[in-house]
Amino acid sequence: MNKKKIINDPVYGFISIPTELIFDLIEHPYFQRLRYIKQVGMTHLVYPGALHTRFHHALGAMHLMSMAIETLRNKGQEISPEEEEAVTIAILLHDIGHGPFSHALEESIVENISHEDISTMIMQRLNLQFNGRLSMAINIFEGNYPHQFLHQLVSSQLDMDRLDYLNRDSFFTGVSEGVISSDRIIKMLNIIDDQIVVEEKGIYSIEKFLIARRLMYWQVYLHKTVIAAEQTLVKILKRSRELAMQGEEIFTTPALSKFLKKPVSRDAFMNEDHYLETFASLDDTDIMAAVKMWEGNDDFVLSKLCKDLVQRDLYKVDITNEPPDKQFIAKLIKRAVEKYNISEHEASYFVFEDTIRNKAYKPGDGNIWILMKDGSIKDITEASDNSNLGALAKTVKKHILCYKKELIRLD
């Protein structure tokens, strides 16, 4: 069978699958599942085109990795064919541990375990199936391989993951602020002392990259309507679990049932194989099938939340620099109790507060290094004459208040 396939990608055009092992990994059910997990969760409720998947993104990141390796080799860096295949596998599988609706439900399905942890577990499972041929890729992914620059290409503040998702999410949402010069950034990469650096002439492309990341967070990932939809989904899962724990019969798909009807601890997930196998069959359709069934549930809270999500009747979200007024929250909860004839606890599903954070760059956490013309290396915030970059290194924390619009209409 010919496994040297090409794929027509809407962002980059034709991209190649470089080796037979990578083809076999793409064909594996664990990876094919990513076709059914949207890259940006509920964002399509704001930007209707944002229906691209983790599958798209992983292939795009794989393509950019091939470009990066070619660039570094052309500049005299020694990267063996085995290392090239391993780092390409590492970036291809970097998101394989994502669950349904990705970040929105990351803590809702299994508590205290990240998608990176699950990605590592799935890679180790695949390594057994492929007779140890993923060992180097796993070491690179975990940062344990001697050549650290390979890990930085997979996971850092300037990795192939971020270069792909900014351009891809911008393309499918139509938000042009996210467009970055990924080709130029990759062409400017080099290695000094086992660290990825960017040549000085690429400094403006890096500035644009950091600013684009900040703008995409506020305009897309943390858009108030996206937050409203994601919070609705989180509350739906919370309520369904609450009912299931009380002994209520709750319809779910078999895969979702295992995680809904009793809490799964980090230790249990890490040590009992059947949890990982079940998780690896979960995708967005499990959640949406349950949501559509729960529209008709006898529980008012669960039924209303599900109907509101399906019909896009979402929370109103107030985003502020200061915590919301406690008296205003108490007033809204009281109105919810009266209007819906529910308890205060149940009203907390319709009125609640939370926080969001945005930090475009974290100096000290895998810095973006600029190789100056005189041979010195500086952090991007020192090398740039753009004073705004210093501000990008600060965490912006905002408070959110979510509540149903009809609670205000009572005025």
* pLDDT tens track for 269-284: 988 889 999 999 999 9
Q: What is the mean pLDDT of the chain?
A: 93
pLDDT-based confidence at residue 385 (cuts at 50, 70, 90) = confident
In angstroms, what CA-CA distances link 73 with 76, 80, 197? 5, 10, 14
Residue 87 structure tokens = 């780092």
pLDDT-based confidence at residue 102 (cuts at 50, 70, 90) = confident
The pLDDT of residue 367 is: 86
d(CA 85, CA 99): 26
* pLDDT tens track for 153-175: 999 999 999 999 999 999 999 99
d(CA 246, CA 318): 33
Residue 178 structure tokens = 């996210």
Residue 204 scores a pLDDT above 80:
yes
Residue 125 scores a pLDDT above 80:
yes
Question: Shortest CA distance to 65 belongs to which of 171, 151, 192?
Answer: 151
CA 81 to chain centre: 30
pLDDT-based confidence at residue 264 (cuts at 50, 70, 90) = confident
Question: Shortest CA distance to 167 belongs to which of 67, 19, 288, 99?
Answer: 67
Element (H, E) at 198: strand 195-199
Question: Shortest CA distance to 404 belongs to which of 347, 342, 338, 323?
Answer: 347
* pLDDT tens track for 211-234: 999 899 999 999 999 999 999 999
The pLDDT of residue 38 is: 96
Torsion angle of C-alpha atoms 81, 141, 103, 158, degrees rounded to 10: -70
Work out the burial of residue 401: count CB atoms within 10 Å of its CB; fewer than 13 is exposed, 13-18 middle, 19 or more buried: buried
pLDDT-based confidence at residue 109 (cuts at 50, 70, 90) = confident
Residue 380 scores a pLDDT above 70:
yes
pLDDT-based confidence at residue 387 (cuts at 50, 70, 90) = low
Least confident stretch, 147-161, 304-318, 363-377? 363-377
Pair 39, 87: CB distance under 8 Å: no
Residue 362 scores a pLDDT above 90:
no
Q: Using alpha carbons only, give the angle 98, 102, 104 rounded to the nearest 5 degrees.
A: 145
Q: Please report, as a single letter, which amino acid is at residue 145.
A: Y
The pLDDT of residue 386 is: 76
The CATH classification number of 224-356+400-409 equals 1.20.1250.30
Least confident stretch, 173-187, 200-214, 387-401? 387-401
The pLDDT of residue 245 is: 87
The pLDDT of residue 180 is: 94
* pLDDT tens track for 69-89: 999 999 999 999 999 999 999
Residue 409 scores a pLDDT above 80:
no
The CATH classification number of 6-222+363-394 equals 1.10.3210.10
User: Whole-prediction pTM value?
Assistant: 0.94
The pLDDT of residue 266 is: 85
The pLDDT of residue 299 is: 96
Return the axis-axis angle of helices 54-74 and 81-92, rounded to nearest 10°.
150
Where in the chain are the domains?
6-222+363-394, 224-356+400-409
Average pLDDT rounded to a whole number, residues 389-411: 83
d(CA 90, CA 85): 9
The pLDDT of residue 410 is: 53
Average pLDDT rounded to a whole number, residues 175-187: 94
Residue 391 scores a pLDDT above 80:
no
